[in-house]
Structure 1
Amino acid sequence: MNESMLNALLQFLAIIQNLKKDEKQLLTRKYIENYLRKAFGKKIANEKVEVYIKYTELFKKNTNFQNQLAVVCKSINQECNLREKYQILINLLDFILYSEISFYNSFSIEKPFKVFVNTIVLELKINKTEFLNLIRFIFGEIYKIPQKKQLLIVGNKNPDFEEIKFLENENLNGYLIFLYLASSNLLLFRYRGALTLEVNKQAIFSRHVYTLKNGSFISGKNIKPIYYGNILRTYSYHEAVHDIYFKAEDIEYKFPNGFTAIQQLTLDARSGELIGIMGGSGTGKSTLMNVLCGNYPLNRGRIEINGVLLEGKGESLKSIIGIVPQEDSLIEELTVFQNILFSSKLTLGNLSDEEIVRRVESTLLEFELYSIKDLKVGSPLKKLISGGQRKRLNIAMEVIRKPEILFVDEPTSGLSSLDSENVMNLLKELSLQGTLLFVNIHQPSSEIFKLFDSILILDKGGYPIFYGNPIESILYFKQKGDRVDKKEIACDYCGHINPDLIFEIVDEKQVNQYGELTSDRKIDPSKWHQFYLDDLKNSYSIWANNPIPIGKYRKPTPFKQFKLFFKRTTLTKLGDWEFVLLSVSIAPIISLLLAFFTKQFATTKSGSYEYIFFENANLPAYFFMSIISALFIGLIVSAEGIIRDGRMLKREAFFNLSMLSYYNSKVIFFVLLSAFQSFCLTIFGIILFQIPDFTFSFWLILFSLSVLANLLGLIISSTLKSVPAIYVLVPFLLIPQILFSGVVVKFDQLNYKVGDQEKVPIIGEVMASRWAFEALTVKQFNDNNYQKKYTEINTQESYNRVRLFYIIPMLNSAIDDYSSSNDKALHEKKLKLLRNGLLMLDIDEPKSLTDQELINSAKKEIEQKRSQFSSALNRVHIQKDVITETLSKSCNGVDGLNALKQRFVNKAISDLVQNRSAGDQVIQVESEIFIKTDPIFRLSQSRNGRAHFFAPCKRIGGLLIETYWFNLIVIWLMITFLYNILVFELLTKTVKMIQKIYQQNLRNPFKNMP
């Protein structure tokens, strides 16, 4: 009783004294003195008697006691909750019972006091029916109590009273009668019998009314203790909508590496119970919770709910199970309301949006979160709501589904003692509403410890060592530990219980001959476990195969899940101002910086600077850096796209939501974001560089690269377990894209083991940057308004020129070397070179010729080809002049043609795709001839799509596809490949498989040794 309650009671008693006759006032004062001394001690009693006297003198001045009552009741209404109001009323009625009641055929109260009590009930807004229950219970008229279902009789024989519950207790002569006041969660009792009983070591007098407090118990000689939890549980059983019987029988669980995490364990529980799971760090509490809820498969034993195997009917049973993990499953960028709303919509698919919103609001009110519903949740380190509010929100997100069984992992971790008690009281209220709760808890306070109906204690190695009533556990361990005070449970004065005493006894160390503590325990975990198993043999459980209640939630359709996931992702990202700022600004900033610093100006004759597109030598570098930027931006914006949802996904995985819908929502969000970022990355460069007719082609390549990078970022985000590891990996993903793009180091200049003189090596083929850079440069060169007029004629010119001026002289030189030498090895080499060269000149090698005959025949054929190529080259020059003249006329002269060229053609791009920086136009490696010049004007003979760098087209079978579109298709094939890796979690599964193999080898590293 607090100060406000006691003062209110003293004021009521002072008013009563003024209503009495003088001869009864001394009796009232004596009662008050005795009551105060018994409840608070002599010192406080003396102080409060003086306060009582002052109240008495004060109220004598005002004879209108109803006004006096109104003032006192108003004060109580402002300061006391409903439970405290009832406690004041109970004390008041108890006083009236023993001082003012007149016993006739039934109780009656003198009229002034009847008005007095009725006024108090009215002013304090006490429920009339519950007040009638209370006053008839206190005055002993059990049969006239209106709500008999709130009564419970405990005894050795059932009196068979209609509607009144009965609980058997052998050897209890007489009856203990309990009344439960549900609105205030008060449990009153009285005893009718001749036994000497005690409540918390205080004597119980027959016909007196007592309050059985949380954690209290009634004991007596030769009777089984009657615990508060057992009594309250009886009410819960009868009030539960569905009777749930949960049983774990002889279960065992091993980790993949073979370590036994949970040893042989058996427990049972039912609706309305609050079960605590206690143990030191590393004893397997969280593992056990995952086993009990069906997340981890059993290695032994069985778990049943109403007789149905959890493992066999997981999907249907999971609909009545809820899990609140220790870690937050909240989205810190969303508000309290949004967090619970999205969680509800993903699990209550059978309800309309309006119904869900109403349920969310009522749940927020119930959990005292409505006032902060519009606040962002924030992170545990950057708190916007308190730790206690975070815990309540996590619980509310699960309770809104109204599960029949709820598992809560460490609900008090990181909370203050006050917040811890608030959270646990909330869980207790849920159990009183019929929910079966399993709660992991590490170091409960005395008050929290008393809340549990049963506790399971785990020891090191996952050994269960006790399951039963928490109060009884103190006696159990004291007896097993051979303590002197083995019959003592709580402090006699304050009722405090020390749960840590359990672990002190369990972990008690042996001493050596010198009296020093050793590392060995007096009783090891396996022996404690044997005690537990022995007790199981002597226990029994009530069991019933009731039908499984139908789950209250239905998953939405996959498409609706996709929409919810997408909306949640969008709101989450918009709620993160740092992400928004980065996403919106990074692309235009990089584009402007790249374009600004690489925009080269030409110097005019007058000494001024003028920008000419044709003269900008930095355009290839700009293309390449834009490609790398697109990959970089795509990676960093998506790198945390999934890992930050890790805890939430772990919770939602229990509901078997569609991961395909989740992944698609992420992909679509980042695709849309990439479209915007790619446009920003494109448009500023196009404007500053003045690249004509290239906006869409440039954007499409950068967009495709960004999408590819998004998928790569999502894959590593779903696979790796830490954010730092992701950002450490990003450079390792980008550096190969730079090194093997064919830009920084040419493919033919790579180490000969990985390089290739003829076509792009395999290591380059898997680099998206290579396909993108080639697509942009070839597209810009071939499709500009100037160059595309000359593409065909330039191809013919290059073909004839290379053969006339490079290959034919090389072959003639080989023939001369053959003829001037008698070295057989040289002959073989030159003949092989000659055969390869003849093929490049479209000369079929004559069959059945000797080497000398081949040389003679080749001389003639080569001479004929030289003449043909020379004539063809002349014709090409004439045709090219005609094209130039025609184009010049359409441009109003040579100056107009030059202006057209300077506007559409970039010399650096032209030089790059024609490889004008190559030292040798044609080279010989061993007996092979490789053309290095004009790759843009050469077609590859390969029919599988592979070609040299900057080839104008790619060949698939007999089909020729322009390089730009072919490369774009390749990039999207890469995107499709990465998409499948993401949605089918192939990389994650591969990593887990490698980890499993590693753990198995670690477990037995010598198994393969002789």
Structure 2
Amino acid sequence: MREPVLVALMHLFALAESLHLKAFSAKGRTIAASFLRNISRSEEFIKLYDDYLDFYERELKENESPGLQELMVKRLGKKLCRELMLPERLVVLIRLTESFLQDGQLSTSELSFLESIANEFNITIADTKALLDFAQGLTAEWKDRSSLLVIESPETESSDELEGAWIEQNKPISGIRDKVITREGLVGKIEILHLSDARVILFKYSGSSELFINQQKAEPGLLYLLTDGCIIRGNNVSPVYFSEIIGRFYQADKPKIILQGKDISFSFGQKGTGIAPFSFCEESGHLVGIIGGSGVGKSTLLRLLNGQLPLKSGTITINGYDLHRDKFRLQGMIGYVPQDDLLFEELTVYQNLFYNACLCFGNMSKQEITGIVNKTISELGLEEIRDLKVGTPLNNILSGGQRKRLNIGLELMREPSVLLVDEPTSGLSSTDAERVMLLLREQANKGKLVIINIHQPSSNIFRLFDSIWVLDRGGYPVYAGNPIEAVHYFKTIAFHANALENECPVCGNIDTEQILRILEAREIDEQGKLLGKRRRQPEEWYRLYKENILQNDEPKAEKSLLPRHVSGIPSETRQMVVFSKRNLLSKIGNIQYLIIAFLEAPLLALILAWFTRYETESGYFFSENKNIPQYLFMAVIVALFIGLTISAEEIIKDRRILLRESYLNLSWFSYINSKVMYLFALSAIQTMLFVLVGNLILGNHDMIPAYWMVLFSTACFANLLGLNLSSGLKSVI
């Protein structure tokens, strides 16, 4: 518990005793001391409590105005709000409520005090009432119990009750039933409360089983905040994972997505195995991490999942529909964010999102698209930089975290059901990495299946995953399951003495690096030096995986209804307009490109015409200029050169963006036409500038249209040739 939380509680305990609230009357110090009994520096906090109590009692004695209590609560609430985050404010309110409840039900004055504190903490009235009722055990009186989840032991029914049970289960539903999770061996019941406004999950247990939240013992009757990745355990009780709990609240009304792979494998021809046979089954609402060292096949596996690479064997299905055979039905279902930036660097943040949205939502008006873009910018936390140009990673206009969030936003705005992200935290600071991962966790909570690959996650990021897949060298899968259980699994196989200890008992952090350390542990020679040979080869880890983890009886996903997507492909004409506008704005935003494009032709004309201008002693006459044929030949060469230089990189520069947009099944014809129209227009301007400058110097005013037609048609030919080269080559170098 952070120090500001403890300081806040000492503040509130002292204020409660000074106001002579029933539970704290003359025994606030005892309550504070009992609360601090397991806290280091407890004496320091008790002294702090005494100082606060003395301060509040003196202030109340000196000023007996009727509104003083309310004023003191407001003043303290505002002070604490500047120091505590919302979850910490809830912890303070919970602990204060539990302290009041030590003396029985809440009195009117205590209830008023708690409601005032909650109001100053900016906790909504609905969440405050739900929390106080939950703490007092009054939830049975609620008519709407949709925010409650009960975990209990399954009831056994006798054969005489089966007929009545069938009728009860199949009668028309009236009202809202409790959400229930069953666990064999659980004595009593666990109640879970979802505070919808604060988006927080609370836990309370009543019973005699010994339960633990991660490694902290859960005392019966007390309230606990459940955080991402936590596990509820008990003796002879199957674990309850956070993802299972949160899925009951956030995804209850959304169509289920099941991504299933059966014995999928891939190889790089003669180069060896890319991915060894691997089976999996993941559902919507999960955040899945692919973990492993460099070069083990994490990115390759993602490219198999998005359909870019063909499978050597096996099948991948979404709700029973094959990824390769049913491409049309699965259109728009998958979003893919590669590791590299897929942004137009000359456009602003808003323009990148807007023109992407125009290609995703062809059946929407401009106002509707603008609304979606503004909402996406708000969700990504990019409001302050919406009008900044993206720029290159080198000129550092946007931070790495902002660029990564923008890349993810380009996919999120079209609402894919399955989101694949390649190395979202690569090159980011710990703060930016955590912010990006929280964004992806939020998408999973909204019902998406999010799969990412990540090299070495921090402890906080590791807890966000619902499950992880661990790959070893050669593309061998060696683990698939809960991330916290993974630590226990590898430590057990490696015969660690503390195999049951998944996290640090003092700070609660998970040493995520130990998984790879155990995987890649090397043998030791007689001198105690490390050898190059590993203790266990990837093939052995793979064998252990198949023996201990791989489920051979995974249910086959039957074909089920796929969610509808609001995105729709615009018409070919509208696509061409969007491509043209986006291309034109990106060119206008590049000052260096504009200078070269519009000064190159007249400068070359000036040089060429000046050196081919032939003057006699009697002066210059165009009809007597013997260098005109050479000038015309060089002018044609210049037109070819200019036409090629402006077109040779057009498609190559867009290649990665085209790969992302390939999931939209956009028209290649519209894209090429937009490029051709732009290049022809630019070539028309360039050749006109060339002809005007050259012919004015040479004194040939009458043949400007004829010269321009020849050079313009030549430049157009060069444009088409350059586009073909750009489309067929990976680089112009």
Q: Structure 2 length as normaliser, TM-score?
A: 0.92
Aligned ranges 1:730-809 → 2 under 5 Å: none
Amino acid in structure 2 at the alignment position of 1:153: V
Q: Deviations over 1:538-588 (max 9, x none)?
A: 775695643112232111112211111111111110110111111111111
Contact 1:330 1:377 in 2 (8 A): yes
Contact 1:59 1:68 in 2 (8 A): no
Contact 1:14 1:59 in 2 (8 A): no
Q: Deviations over 1:946-1003 (max 9, x none)?
A: xxxxxxxxxxxxxxxxxxxxxxxxxxxxxxxxxxxxxxxxxxxxxxxxxxxxxxxxxx
Match among 559, 563, 566 for residue 580 of structure 2? 566
Match of 2:630 in 1: 621
Displacement of 1:162: 5.7
Match of 1:370 in 2: 383
Amino acid in structure 2 at the alignment position of 1:469: N
Match among 226, 240, 243 for residue 229 of structure 1? 243
Match among 286, 289, 292 for residue 299 of structure 2? 286
Displacement of 1:399: 1.0
**SS state at 1:602 partner:** coil
Q: Deviations over 1:450-471 (max 9, x none)?
A: 0000111111111111110000
Q: What is the percentage of aligned positions where both structures have the same residue?
A: 37
- Structure with greater contact order relative to length (CA < 8 Å, sep ≥ 6): 2
1:94 matched to 2:98: yes
Aligned ranges 1:393-404 → 2 under 5 Å: 393-404=406-417
Displacement of 1:78: 4.8
Contact 1:412 1:423 in 2 (8 A): yes
RMSD of the alignment, in Å?
A: 2.4
CA distance in 2, matches of 1:340, 1:92: 46
Amino acid in structure 2 at the alignment position of 1:313: D
Contact 1:200 1:492 in 2 (8 A): no
**SS state at 1:38 partner:** coil
Displacement of 1:168: 1.8
Match of 2:608 in 1: 594
Q: 1:539 to 1:24 in 2, by over 3 A?
A: same
Q: Deviations over 1:72-98 (max 9, x none)?
A: 233344554433332332222122222
CA distance in 2, matches of 1:469, 1:230: 11
CA distance in 2, matches of 1:702, 1:567: 27
Q: Deviations over 1:53-108 (max 9, x none)?
A: 46535653555110111222333445544333323322221222224x3xxxxx4x
Contact 1:262 1:284 in 2 (8 A): yes
Match of 1:662 in 2: 671
Match among 385, 395, 399 for residue 398 of structure 2? 385
Residue range with higher mean Cα deviation, 290-299 or 433-442 = 290-299
Match of 1:220 in 2: 234
Residue range with higher mean Cα deviation, 314-323 or 151-160 = 151-160
1:85 matched to 2:89: yes
CA distance in 1, matches of 2:559, 2:191: 31
Aligned ranges 1:758-907 → 2 under 5 Å: none
Displacement of 1:341: 0.8
Aligned ranges 1:632-647 → 2 under 5 Å: 632-647=641-656
Match among 238, 242, 253 for residue 255 of structure 2? 242
CA distance in 1, matches of 2:647, 2:47: 69
Match of 1:184 in 2: 198
Amino acid in structure 1 at the alignment position of 2:263: D
Q: 1:44 to 1:260 in 2, by over 3 A?
A: farther
Amino acid in structure 1 at the alignment position of 2:78: K
Match among 298, 301, 325 for residue 311 of structure 2? 298
Amino acid in structure 2 at the alignment position of 1:451: L
Q: Deviations over 1:688-746 (max 9, x none)?
A: 11125311121111112212222232233333334xxx2x4xxxxxxxxxxxxxxxxxx
Q: Deviations over 1:738-758 (max 9, x none)?
A: xxxxxxxxxxxxxxxxxxxxx
**SS state at 2:655 partner:** helix
Match of 1:68 in 2: 72
CA distance in 1, matches of 2:333, 2:55: 56
**SS state at 2:127 partner:** helix
**SS state at 2:532 partner:** strand
Displacement of 1:526: 1.4
**SS state at 2:392 partner:** coil
Contact 2:291 2:468 in 1 (8 A): yes
Match of 2:154 in 1: 157
CA distance in 2, matches of 1:55, 1:163: 50
Q: 1:539 to 1:515 in 2, by over 3 A?
A: farther
CA distance in 1, matches of 2:59, 2:480: 56
**SS state at 1:251 partner:** strand
Contact 1:678 1:703 in 2 (8 A): yes
CA distance in 1, matches of 2:10, 2:461: 31
Residue range with higher mean Cα deviation, 398-407 or 506-515 = 506-515
CA distance in 2, matches of 1:634, 1:557: 30
1:173 matched to 2:170: no
1:443 matched to 2:456: yes
Match of 1:757 in 2: none
Q: Which runs of 5+ in 1 are unaligned?
A: 102-106, 605-609, 729-1010
1:131 matched to 2:128: yes
Contact 1:199 1:218 in 2 (8 A): yes
Contact 1:323 1:398 in 2 (8 A): yes
Q: Deviations over 1:614-667 (max 9, x none)?
A: 332332232222222212222222232122212211111122211221112111
Displacement of 1:345: 1.0
Q: 1:454 to 1:542 in 2, by over 3 A?
A: farther
Q: Matched residue pairs, number? A: 711
1:276 matched to 2:289: yes
Residue range with higher mean Cα deviation, 367-376 or 206-215 = 206-215
1:13 matched to 2:17: no
1:354 matched to 2:358: no
Match of 2:172 in 1: none
Q: Deviations over 1:813-854 (max 9, x none)?
A: xxxxxxxxxxxxxxxxxxxxxxxxxxxxxxxxxxxxxxxxxx
Q: 1:158 to 1:566 in 2, by over 3 A?
A: farther
Amino acid in structure 2 at the alignment position of 1:597: F
Contact 2:609 2:697 in 1 (8 A): yes
**SS state at 2:291 partner:** strand
Match among 577, 581, 591 for residue 591 of structure 2? 577
Q: 1:692 to 1:364 in 2, by over 3 A?
A: closer
Match of 1:143 in 2: 140
Displacement of 1:492: 0.7
1:332 matched to 2:345: yes
Amino acid in structure 1 at the alignment position of 2:70: Q
Match among 263, 271, 288 for residue 276 of structure 2? 263
Larger radius of gyration: 1
Match of 2:724 in 1: 715
1:550 matched to 2:564: yes
Match of 2:27 in 1: 27
Contact 1:15 1:59 in 2 (8 A): no
**SS state at 1:152 partner:** strand
Q: 1:54 to 1:542 in 2, by over 3 A?
A: farther
Amino acid in structure 2 at the alignment position of 1:713: G
Q: Which runs of 5+ in 2 are unaligned?
A: 157-168, 170-174
Amino acid in structure 2 at the alignment position of 1:31: I
**SS state at 1:70 partner:** helix
Match of 1:880 in 2: none
**SS state at 2:329 partner:** helix
Match of 1:413 in 2: 426
**SS state at 2:265 partner:** strand
Q: 1:499 to 1:713 in 2, by over 3 A?
A: same
Q: 1:29 to 1:541 in 2, by over 3 A?
A: farther
CA distance in 2, matches of 1:517, 1:644: 47
Match of 1:960 in 2: none
Amino acid in structure 2 at the alignment position of 1:174: G
Displacement of 1:39: 4.5
Amino acid in structure 1 at the alignment position of 2:585: L
CA distance in 1, matches of 2:327, 2:579: 25
CA distance in 2, matches of 1:485, 1:705: 77
